[in-house]
Amino acid sequence: MNVDDSQVEYRRNGKNCIHGLQLRNSTKPMVLLLHGIGSSADVWWDVLHCLVSAGYEVLAPDMLGHGYSSVPDCTKAYTFPSLLKDTIAIFDKYVPCTELGQCIIIGHSFGCSLAGALARYREQQVVQLVLISGGGPTPLAPPVSSTELSVFGCMQILMKPLLFCGMKRTMFYSSRGKHFNVCEPETAVPAYVLRYISEGQDWPEGDAAFHRRIFIPTLLVHGMQDTSVTLVQECEMERTIPRSFLEVIPAAGHMAMIETPEQLCHMLLCFFQWWTK
C-alpha cells in the first residue's frame, strides 16, 4: 500500500501550518528517536540524555500500542502504512515546516523502516539519518506461514550463520522481504498488538530502489553479537544508500542503545559533528 500524496505533502500555507513562529532556540537540528517492536521510548534513555547534554532537542515518541501510547484493538491501526502516517503526523507537529526546521532521525530495528520512509517523504527537512540494526534494503513482508516455507527457504535458514560480506548476498535474500520480531522478549506490550504489527509488516515499496534515493548522510550501526540482523544485510544497505557509512560495535547485539550506550553515543555525536555544515 502506498502512502497517499495528501498524507505526505508539505503543509506550507498559513492555514494548515501550525508553525507560524520559531518554537526552538537551539541552532542544532531536532533529533527524532524511533524505537522497535515490543520496546518503548525508554530504550533511548541513555542516548536521550547524551544528546540533550550536547545541546540537541530530542523527541522520542512511543509507537502506537507501546509505552504510554493508546492500545486500540484494531488490526488496521497497526499496519506499516498506518504507523507511518502516525510518524509523519508527529514529525509535522514538532518539526517546523520552514527552512529553519531541520531534523535528524534515528531508528532502531522496525523503527528503521519508519525512519527511512520518513527521510524520503520529508527530505527537505531531514538532514541526517541513523539506522541501528535495520537490516538490508529489502521490503517489509508478513511472517512466513508453514504452507509457504519452501526448500530454498530452509536453505536460507541453515546457511544464515555462514554468511559473510565477501559472499554473494542477493542469493540469500528472501523473495518476500524482511520481517522484524519483538526486540525485548519480556515486553509489556499486549499480545494482540504484537500480532497485529507482525501481520501488518507489508511495505513492498521499501526495496533497494527506494533506498537508493535516500541522499542524505546516513550512519548504519551494527552490533556484531546481533542474532536478528546479519552483517551481510548491513553491508548491502551500505552499498545501496549513496552516502551511507557502516560502523560496527563488537560487544553489542540487537540493542546497542542499552548494551553499549557510551560507544553508540560517541558514534552519534561524531557523525552529527562531521556532517555539520
Least confident interval from 61-70, 77-86, 178-187:
178-187
Smallest CA-to-CA distance from 93 within 50, 43, 44, 32 is with 32
Query: Among 35, 66, 108, 254, which one carries the catalytic annotation?
Result: 254
Q: One of 40, 222, 226, 244 is an active-site residue; which one?
A: 226
Q: Look at residue 260 and tell me whether its pLDDT is greater than 80.
A: yes
- Residue with the three cell numbers 537490516: 135
Query: Which amino acid, 196?
Result: Y
pLDDT tens per residue across span 199-238? 999 999 999 999 999 999 999 999 999 999 999 999 999 9
Any catalytic annotation for residue 254? yes
CA 251 to chain centre: 21
Q: What is the average pLDDT score of the chain? A: 84
Give the predicted TM-score (pTM) of the model: 0.84
Q: Name beta bridge partners: 220.
A: 131, 246
Active site residue: 40, 109, 113, 244, which one?
109
pLDDT-based confidence at 27, cuts 50/70/90?
confident
Task: Identify the pLDDT of residue 9.
Answer: 41
Percent of the chain at pLDDT > 70 equals 77
Whether 19 is a known active-site residue: answer no
pLDDT for 13 equals: 40
Q: How confident is the model at residue 186 (pLDDT cuts 50, 70, 90)?
A: confident
Does residue 12 register a pLDDT over 50? no
Q: Is 109 noted as a catalytic residue in this protein?
A: yes
Q: What is the mean pLDDT of residues 138-154?
A: 67
